[in-house]
A and B are shown apart, each in its own frame.
Chain A
C-alpha cells in the first residue's frame, strides 16, 4: 500500500502539467485535447527520427552480413583449393612413381616376387602410403603380389578398376573393400608387352595417408574435410557425417573445374557451408564442411553489438522525443492557460462594463418617472407652502414630505445600483430564452426606439426550456444585439429567431440588415482585441467574450455575413447542460 502510494507520488511528479487539463482536477479550461496532441507529437517525432535510424541499421546489418559471408566463402575456397592441390600432388606423385617403375623395371623383374617386394619396400620408404603392389596379366589374373595379404592368382577380370585401366591405361579407384575385405584404393597402370599383350601394375594406397593430410588442416571446431566419390559415398571417415562409404547428407554437387562453395543443411538440420573441388583424374571430390553457427560466430557477435547500439539509439531517441514533446506541449498548455486567464480577467472587466451599462439603463428608466413623481410631489408641497388653506394642515404636509423623502431615497438607490451589481453567481437552471431576450431588449428598447430600429422576435410556442446560466445568456444576447445595433443605421431591422434542433440543441439567431462584415474580418471576429470600431469605442473584447461564454455553456457560435446586406450570428446551445459551469465569480 505504501509502495503504491509512493509510486503514485513519483508518477505525479513526472506527470506533465497538461495531463489533467479539462478534467475535474483542474480549474483550467480546455481548448483542445493536449494528451492527444502530445501522443501525436510523440508518434510523429518518433517516426521521423526512428525511421532513418532503422533504415541505417538495416543497411549496416545487410552489408555486414554479406561481407562476413563473402569472407567466409573466400576463406573456404582458398582452403579447399590448397587441400585439393596437396591431394592432387599426393596422387600424381604416386602415379608417377608407378610410371617410373613400369618404365624402368622389366616385366620379368616385376613378375619376380623378391624383386617386387624390394620395389615395394623402396616405395614405402620413399613415398609412404603404399600397402602392396601387384602385377595382373591381360586375363585379369594377379600373377605376382607383394604385400601383407595373400592375393596371388586372384582373378580381377571383372573388377571395375581392371576394365577401366585396360581401357584407359591408368586408373585411380574409389575406396572399396575388395578381396581383402578392407577399405582401400588402387592406382593401376597398364604397360604393353612386346608380344602385343599387356600387364597392369597395381598399387594399393593406404587411405590413412590422406586422412592424415585432411586432418592436418587447421579447421575450426565442428568443421571438417573429407573425400567422397561422385556417387556421394564417403571415401574417408567423417566425424560428423558418418563412417566410410556412407552417403553424404546433401546431393553431390555438380562438376566444376574450379573450387566452389555451396550452402546446404546437414542431417541434424544445421546449415553448413561446403567448399568442394573435383580432384582431376580421380573419382574424388574434396569437401570442406563448416558449420554456419561456427563460422558466423563473428557475425553473431557483431549482430549483437549492432542490436545493442540500435536499442540504445532508439531508447535515447525516444527519451529525447518524449522530453521535447512534453516540453513543447507544456509550453503550449502554459501559454493557453495564461491566455485563458487574461481572457477571464478581461471577461470580468467587460462584464462589469456591461453591468454598468445595464445599471445605467435601469437608472435612466427609473429616474425619469421618479423625477416626475418627485417634481409633482414637490409642486404639491410648493402649493401647500404658498396657499393659506393648506399651510396649517400638518398631516398633509407630513404625507407629502414622506413621498419626497422616498423619492430621494429611490434616487439614491438608483445611483448606487452600480455598487449593488458588483457580484453575481452563475448557476445552471431551466430558463426560458424568450424571457431573457425580452429582458435584454427592455434595456435596449429605448435606444431602438430612438434609432427607429424595428425588432422582430420569432420564438415558437413549443420552444423548450433550456438549462443554462441566466447571467451569461443575458450578456451573450446583450453583446450580440448591441453589436447588431452598432452595425445598423437608423431604420434598421433586427430579427431574432429561435429554433429547436433534433439533436437536443436549440439555436438562436440574431440577424441585422446592417453594414455586414467582410470575409477577412469575419475570420478574426472572435479574436480578442479585434475591432472594426476603430478608436471611437469598443475594446474588441465583446465578441471574444461572447464566444468564451457560449463555449462555457457548451454551445457553439457562428456568423454569416454579406457586406451591405447584413450579419447573422447563430448561437447553438444544448437543451440539457449535464454539469456545472466553472466558477465565474468576479474578482474584486
Chain B
C-alpha cells in the first residue's frame, strides 16, 4: 500500500513516514505541494497524508488537483491550524479523514487502512 506524506515540516514528515512503515505501509515523504503533485504524476499511490499549509501552495489546491487527475487516490488531511470549518470543506472535497496535529498514529493508520479496505 503506497502512501505519500506531504508536510513542510521535514522532521515530522520523515518520522511519520517511519512510523507508518513500521505499520506495513510503503511511505514516501515530500515537503511541498509541487513535488507532491510531481510524485503523484510519476507513480501510483494509494493514499496521501496532506498538510493544509504548504510553503508553495494551499493544501486544498493540492487536494483539488489530486481529485481532478487521480480520483482513486484517497486523501487524509493532517493539519496544525485548521478549523472545523476547514475540515468540513476538505471532507466535501473528498478527504477520507481529517486530523489535528498532533494526531494519534493508530487513528491515522486506521483511517488509511479503512479506506484501503473500501478501495
Contact = CB atoms under 8 A, between A and B. Distances in A.
Contacts of B101: 367-368, 370-371, 374, 411
B22 A376 contact: no
A325 to B, nearest CB: 52
B83 interface: yes
Contact of B15 (A360, A379, A408, A411): A379
A450 B53 CA distance: 10
B34 interface: no
Nearest to A449: B55
Contacts of B83: 360
B61 to A, nearest CB: 14
Interface in A346-405: 360-361, 363-364, 367-368, 370-376, 378-379, 382-383, 386
A371 B12 contact: yes
A257 B104 CA distance: 133
B42 interface: no
A364 B82 CA distance: 9
Contact of B9 (A361, A363, A368, A382): A368
B46 interface: no
Interface string B34-60: 000000000000000000010100000
Contacts of B103: 371
**Size range of the chain A interface in the assembly:** 20 to 34
B9 A371 contact: yes
A411 B100 contact: yes
A415 interface: yes
A372 B80 CA distance: 11
Contacts of B80: 363-364, 367-368, 371
A383 B55 CA distance: 32
B12 A375 contact: yes
Interface residues of B, number: 19
B26 interface: no
A487 to B, nearest CB: 20
B102 A408 contact: yes
Contacts of B18: 379
Given A363-B80, A364-B81, A367-B102, A372 B22 contact: no
B81 to A, nearest CB: 4
A553 interface: no
B11 interface: yes
A361 B81 CA distance: 7
Nearest to A356: B83
Contact of B100 (A375, A378, A415): A415
Contacts of A382: 19, 22, 105
A407 interface: yes
B15 A407 contact: no
B6 to A, nearest CB: 14
B19 A371 contact: no
B100 A376 contact: no
A507 B80 CA distance: 37
B16 interface: yes
Contacts of B100: 367, 411, 415
A13 B12 CA distance: 71
Contacts of A361: 81
Contact of A372 (B9, B53, B81, B105): B9
Contacts of B9: 368, 371-372
Nearest to B51: A368
A411 B102 contact: yes
B19 A379 contact: yes
A374 B105 CA distance: 10
A418 B23 CA distance: 35
A79 B100 CA distance: 118
Nearest to A418: B83
A360 B22 CA distance: 32
A386 B22 contact: yes
A65 to B, nearest CB: 86
B19 A372 contact: no
A378 B11 contact: no
Interface in B14-38: 15-16, 18-19, 22
Contacts of A360: 81, 83
A409 to B, nearest CB: 10
A130 B94 CA distance: 146
Q: Which of the listed residues A368, A382, A408, A450 has the most CB atoms from chain B within 10 Å of its own CB?
A: A368
Nearest to B106: A378
A55 to B, nearest CB: 71
Q: Which of the listed residues B81, B103, B104 has the most CB atoms from chain A within 10 Å of its own CB?
A: B81
A130 to B, nearest CB: 133
Contacts of A363: 80-81
Given A360-B83, A367-B81, A408-B102, A375 B19 contact: yes
B22 A375 contact: no
Contacts of A372: 9, 11-12, 15
Nearest to A410: B102
Contact of A378 (B53, B55, B81, B105): B105
Given A364-B81, A368-B9, A376 B15 contact: yes
Nearest to A378: B105
Contacts of A376: 11, 15
A373 B80 CA distance: 13
A3 to B, nearest CB: 66
A374 B19 CA distance: 11
B53 A374 contact: no
A413 B82 CA distance: 15
Q: Which of the listed residues B12, B16, B19, B80 has the most CB atoms from chain A within 10 Å of its own CB?
A: B80
**Shortest 9 CB-CB distances between A and B: which pairs?**
A374-B102, A367-B80, A364-B81, A371-B101, A375-B15, A371-B102, A367-B101, A372-B12, A364-B80
10 contacts: A367-B80, A367-B101, A368-B9, A368-B12, A370-B101, A372-B11, A372-B12, A379-B18, A379-B22, A382-B105
Given A367-B102, A370-B102, A411-B101, 18 more contacts: A360-B81, A364-B81, A367-B81, A367-B100, A368-B9, A368-B101, A371-B80, A371-B103, A372-B12, A372-B15, A376-B11, A378-B105, A379-B15, A383-B22, A407-B102, A410-B102, A411-B100, A415-B100
